[in-house]
Structure 1
Amino acid sequence: MSLSLIALGVGDAFTARYHSTCAAVCTPGATLLVDCPHPIRRVLADSGSGLDIGDLSGVVITHNHADHVSGLEGLLFFAHFVLKRRMPVIAHPEVLRDLWRG
């Protein structure tokens, strides 16, 4: 099985140049985004990876700091209204609970 990890953002929460930390885990059958900073479409475009939101199979959220989830709402709206599909969100149950609790 082929597996690749693509660093998409390598900056901290206040970066103005390298986007907040996130990555893509790619296999021949799926591509998972790991964390979702805003603006995620710009992060993907600037990465040089050739990935776009339509290539993503789902998103893994590691924790609920704003620099890791601030692009999630936009990603899910884009998937729903533009791609016409659901984008699975994968995380520890406590992370999911706190994410949607607000």
Structure 2
Amino acid sequence: MTVDEFNNIIYEKDDETGIVTVTINRPEIRNALTLLVLLELYWAVDTVENDESVNAMILTGAKPLESDDPAGEAFSSGGYFNLADFESLDEKTKSEIDLTDIAQK
């Protein structure tokens, strides 16, 4: 999976500084770590590891649109695991999942 295909996180790279910002973009569920979020985070870290121009990665969470307080929101509410998430993946995405590699990271 490429960064352009992410649906649950936002991957932004500043080419001048080499800093990547990854934002968990599921404020409607307080950025809970679902299977799909975790898979996209895994692929984002893999992208960073394979890009020698990256100097650092910042991980953050999106705040609800109605919130005016950037410090008063949760980064992530924790894990939310639903096996139906895996079933909803298309076959191409399922074939790209290397559980051995994920477990090692």
Which TM bucket (shorter chain)? 0.3 to 0.5
Where is the strand percentage greater, Structure 1 or Structure 2? Answer: 1
Greater RCO (CA < 8 Å, at least 6 residues apart): 2
TM-score calculated relative to the size of structure 2: 0.34
TM-score calculated relative to the size of structure 1: 0.35
Q: Please tell me whether Structure 1 or Structure 2 has the larger radius of gyration of its CA atoms.
A: 2
